[in-house]
Amino acid sequence: MKSERLEQLGAVPVDGGVRFRVFAPDADEVSLHLFPTAFSSRASRRLELVRDPDGIWTVVAEGARVGDLYGYTVQGPRDGRPHERMDPSHILLDPWAIEVGRLPHWELDVDSPFLVGALGRVADRRFDWQGVEKPVVPPSRRVVYEAHVKGMTMLHPDVPEPLRGTYLGLCHPSVVRHLVDLGVTTVELLPVHAHMDDRFLIERGLTNYWGYSTLSWFAPHPAYASRPGHAFDEFRTMVRELHRAGLEVVLDVVYNHSCEGGIDGPDVSLRGFGKWYLRDEHGGFRDLAGCGNSLDFSDRNVRRFVLQSLRHWAEQGRVDGFRFDLASVHGRGERGFDPTSPFFSEMARDPVLGSTLRIAEPWDATREGYGLGRYPSPWLEWNDRFRDDTRLFWKGQGSARAFGLRLAGSPDIFVDRPHGTPVNYAACHDGFTARDLATWTSKRNEANGEDNRDGSDWNHSDDLGQEGDSMEPQLLERRARRVRNLLASAVFAQGTPMILSGDELGRTQSGNNNAYCQDNAISWVRWEDPDPWPDPAWVGRILSLRAEFPVPGSWEWIAAPQEHDQAVGVLLRAGDRMRAIVANASAQACSFRLPPGAWRLRFDSGAQNGDEDLRWGDLHLVVEASTLLVLDA
């Protein structure tokens, strides 16, 4: 099948009606069902589609219009195996629908629980971008801010209540002003693709809050719209207004698996149209994502489908890039992760996608899928080695050398790669917040309904002597300093820093390190914390200091005068400019000898008010306990 034919799929308004097209090369029969409302259990019209030699099925529904709701049934060959099914009793969501008019939902309060299928909505693809262009952010100045569309504004006092938790809420002037004043450049959104809530979560009274259970790769999640039927327009309005403020928009995308689960999972969309999932030698599903299925990226049609979806968001949604969840699934070969797999080269050659920002979560759910440092340039990669080495160092249990290498841009991992390749972070959505890293030694996930068995047990967190919240002033100051050390490490290290939304406000999840199902105050950003630590002004200041220094051309060690595995210093050189970053994680002060020159202290993690940047130092530098310093020559 020619790739340009894939661009013509979906529901497209035409003169006198709507043209519906889907790709189902193995089907014997495809039927379109038009529904009068989202609450209807029966279709008002049924039309049969006609197949062409490429496996594309088409029908023009005369009289259909924008706003109509529709689904498909597909009939095809069945060999008795459940993973080969094409069951015409299931109403299927169009995989190419750009809006979802009804999300699938479980009816559990009946004698025989059942799933109500999803419906697509015919949408108008036109949009007024008002002449706003995409921002141009130099890679050396990029700062990523990881946020959830709903959680960002549900508790924001200045966002009108009808807009809280929506696309329009995220681009409200008060939120945009906060992001700009903070100094971030790139908003990375947790999944906005329409997703489905798992049955086991519904039975517990919970939902899939993070959204890593994709239902549709072309449609924005309708629950984040302030008005039903306007999700795509409101999503594009959000992108336009963030662009107007000079902020990039990156989508966290989940192409490694779908919401349809394993062999016994529901047929809601993609699986009902053919063979899209990776198989094992027995014909069953291979699960590289830990969610029951994995898309088969060795299949040319799967890759074309994913590339078409990405182009849709880059062209129709005008997003600036993508962060690929469990990205190693996209490059899996017979012996594990293969950076030369076709998907990466096809995306690089694509005239639309080749210039987009690409960020990998460089692993999957298997040991063979770990690929940190192996992705093709210019991919950026989430640097979990930075996360772990930084946490361990400040906890007093790590290696000073390993932490020093992370500050220097992880040259031991990213060999001959561009400056911004490692995405350095102390905290992300998946785990403790920065504040909780200094408040809890053990996870507190009971609210998830799994008896605290879920979530990682390897957090390298530290309660600093008392588990949980405290009002003791000295303990609070020690915790605040720990958080400042963690965040400053991520900001000043060479690479691309990433900040978790709310960490600049001291957000806590009360010890929950796996809040994927907590659509409530556990996960939402608290904008009116009476005692934030740190605070946005402090984070903004260190981001400004980071931006003042050019891209380093080289680095070297700054040796402490005595053997000390809890203190380390690195010197960064950019032309005739030098910057020193020195850190002491021990309980006693230690000394460093700086290279010749006149040095000015720019940052001291022990000075919470930030008024220490005017002191001049000599070559003999004393670094207090639990302190990170930044000095410029």
3-state SS, residue 106:
strand
d(CA 102, CA 69): 8
Maximum Cα interatomic distance, the chain, rounded to a whole number of Å: 82
Q: Can 181 be counted among the known catalytic residues? A: no
User: Is 226 exposed, middle or buried (CB count within 10 Å of its CB: 0-12, 13-18, 19+)?
Assistant: middle
Q: What is the DSSP string of 93-157?
A: --TT-SSEEE--EEE-SSSS-EEEPPEEE--------TTPPPP---GGG--EEEE-HHHHHTT-T
Asked if the bond preceding 534 is cis, omega within 30° of 0, the reply is yes
Q: What interhelical angle do 400-407 and 473-492 show, nearest 10? A: 50
Check: CB of residue 182 under 8 Å from CB of residue 504: yes
Choice among 94, 234, 296, 361 that is catalytic: 361
d(CA 258, CA 82): 17
d(CA 418, CA 381): 11
Q: Pick from 500, 362, 370, 366: which is nearest to 431 by CA? A: 500
Report phi then psi at 383, rounded to 5: -100, 85
Q: Tokens at residue 381, please?
A: 């990669």
d(CA 343, CA 296): 11
Choice among 198, 233, 325, 604 that is catalytic: 325
Q: Can 325 be counted among the known catalytic residues? A: yes
115, amino acid identity: L
Please identify every residue annotated as catalytic.
Answer: 325, 361
